[in-house]
A and B are shown apart, each in its own frame.
Chain A
Amino acid sequence: MDPASLRAIALRQFRRSWVGQVGAALVVLFLIVTALAPLLAPYDPIATDFANVLSPPTRAHPFGTDDIGRDILSRVIHGSRVSLQAGLFTVAVALTVGLPLGLIAGFRGGRVDDLIMRGIEVILSFPTLVLALGITAVLGPRLIHALFAIGIVFVPHFARLIRGQVLTVKENDFIAAAHALGASDARVMGRHVLPNCLAPILVQSSFSIAFAILTEAALSFLGLGTQPPTPSWGIMLAMGRGYLEQAPWLGAFPGLAIFLTVLGFNLLGDGIRDALDPRLKA
């Protein structure tokens, strides 16, 4: 079966799944908000207005204002950029390290594989957030450190997934044929093995972005990620915690934003996985 028809089957399956559709809609909405943040936000997200502190949702401020009069809607809109950055940066770190490790382990096998897999097992021995917290603690509480830490803890998941795919793909006749035609290992890996691993990487990336957004928000909530006054959903939630009784909207909207975004990427991942399933089984 040629790849175009496989793609068509996957697309048709995806269109049939409401889970994937809802996920895709939420993710597209998130990406639009992120891209157009300066145009969509009615106010400057860090501009204070002391005449208007802790205002409940009104027509002028649909999500209300915070304890120093900043517009929460504008902060939620701009906060999406920190979340997107968190998702993309961490997956990039995880892929940059995990992809070659997984490819080499699966392709080479033997001792190299053993060594890489033992290393991966060691990282997997740490609960994700505990490891991210430990790394952030030593490097200092800054967004880039938090993102780097989350990226590192994702490496094993990607490496293991890719290794598994490689082990399956490399048994195919077309790989033997490529070798027989004199293709180098690097060419076989890059030209023939990698393209066949992309589908599961896509699924894993979607779940990982969701988890990275959640973890960045958690670290920022604890005061160890993004630092004020940068609008991050986690920081906004942490601030909302102090005003839960007087101004519950402070935490409600950023929390809802995190929830919908994470839900979107999780559902999208589910949808893509279900759509690709017939092909993965083939």
Chain B
Amino acid sequence: MIQFVARRLLATVPLLFFVSLVVFSFVHVLPGDPAVLFLGEEATPETLAKFRTRLGFDRPLVTQYVEWLGRALRGDLGRSLRTNQPVTEAILQRLPVTLELLGAALAVSLAIAIPAGIVSAVKRNSGVDLVSTVFALIGFSLPNFWLGLILIYVFALLLRWLPPSGFAPLPALADNARSLILPALTLGTALAALITRQLRSGMLEVLRQDYVRTAQAKGLGQGVVVAKHALKNALIAVVTVIGLQIGGLLGNTIITESLFALPGVGRLMIDAVFSRDFFIVQGVVLFLAVGYVLSNLIVDVLYSYLDPRIRLG
């Protein structure tokens, strides 16, 4: 197991190096001129030149990259062009909100999908199965920003049960939970749909296996067979879906945070895009990409734990 993790970690290093190259090229190689984009078309050539000198844009690209990478490795992603706040500090300040949202969305999706997937496989071709299959088909195609608006309209404006937007930080636990219910549903529904679909087919596959039939023949109750024998193997499919969807989840966090005015990393990025604060954009993209690569690594390790054939293969 340790060998497997070490091998995967080692393979991640060159990948992260190339990721850093792509992120660096965002500001420096793509056709847009950051100086013009930041200062506007009307800026005089002198002002533009001063801006470039101040940020070191006039030096050779390789020198800029090496220095930038060196600083990034020490956790220094530069400073915001607007507020002068260190980029890393800005990200870390907002990270707890994003992590809480991601955790809540994952919890919501599992809370919907695990019972739905199991029941729909066990009671195949029943009414429940039909409902959950239709949910799985529809949920994936629902634009989350539209779903969010519908949820705000129904639960915040019509029924007035939950706040339409904003974030109540911890330790005000009840308010914190209330402020995250709608965002978590908005973010978690598509994932719930996918997991339901995958878990249903995973369970159907497992329920046909001989060892499940043996367990049933031994006289074990349906509940024990499903929970103890079938679910653990079907969960591999769930981990796979979650692993594949982490990227989508991170991207949709940006939309959800923006829709519900949550002060997370995604909102920071959107604000920075509009205020043309390139170093914040660059920092957040790098941060999310590294987070994505590392979470894929965790999923791989988890996957190999659930299915030993993977690490031994």
Contacts and interface: CB of A to CB of B under 8 A. Distances in A.
Given A127-B292, A134-B26, A224-B273, A258 B285 contact: no
B70 interface: no
A89 to B, nearest CB: 18
A116 B21 CA distance: 16
Interface string A207-235: 00010001001100111100000000010
Interface residues of A, number: 47
A258 B138 CA distance: 12
Contacts of B137: 19, 263, 266-267, 270
B141 A210 contact: yes
Contacts of A258: 143, 146
A258 B255 CA distance: 16
Chain B CB within 10 Å, residue with most, of A128, A136, A210, A256: A128
Contacts of B278: 137-138
Interface string A111-148: 00000001101110111111101111111110000000
Interface string A19-33: 100000000000000
A139 B143 CA distance: 25
Interface centre among B14, B32, B146, B250 (most CB of A within 10 A): B146
Given A133-B269, A139-B32, A222-B270, A128 B143 contact: no
A135 B26 contact: yes
A30 B272 CA distance: 36
Interface in A224-264: 224, 234, 237, 240-241, 244-245, 248, 251, 255-256, 258-259, 262-263
B220 interface: no
A129 B157 CA distance: 29
B250 A127 contact: yes
A149 to B, nearest CB: 10
B254 interface: yes
Contacts of A270: 137
Contacts of B153: 244-245, 248
B26 A138 contact: yes
B143 A218 contact: yes
A237 B146 contact: yes
Nearest to B150: A255
Interface in A27-48: none
Interface residues of B, number: 53
Contacts of B272: 137
A95 B4 CA distance: 35
B16 to A, nearest CB: 8
Contacts of B19: 122, 125-126
Contacts of A130: 247, 250-251, 254, 269, 284-285, 288-289
B26 A251 contact: no
Nearest to B142: A259
B31 interface: yes
Of residues A123, A128, A133, A222, which shows the largest number of chain B Cβ atoms within 10 Å of its Cβ? A133
A244 B254 CA distance: 21
Nearest to B154: A248
A139 B36 CA distance: 11
Given A210-B141, A222-B258, A263-B138, A128 B251 contact: yes
Interface of B: 14-15, 18-19, 21-23, 26-27, 30-32, 34, 37, 137-138, 140-143, 145-146, 149-150, 152-153, 157, 246-252, 254-255, 258-259, 269-270, 272-274, 276, 278, 281-282, 284-285, 288-289, 292-293
Interface of A: 19, 118-119, 121-123, 125-131, 133-141, 210, 214, 217-218, 221-224, 234, 237, 240-241, 244-245, 248, 251, 255-256, 258-259, 262-263, 266-267, 270
The 5 closest A-B pairs by CB, nearest first: A129-B251, A255-B146, A127-B247, A263-B141, A127-B250
Given A130-B250, A133-B269, A259-B141, 11 more contacts: A118-B14, A127-B246, A127-B288, A130-B247, A139-B31, A140-B37, A214-B143, A221-B145, A240-B149, A244-B152, A262-B143
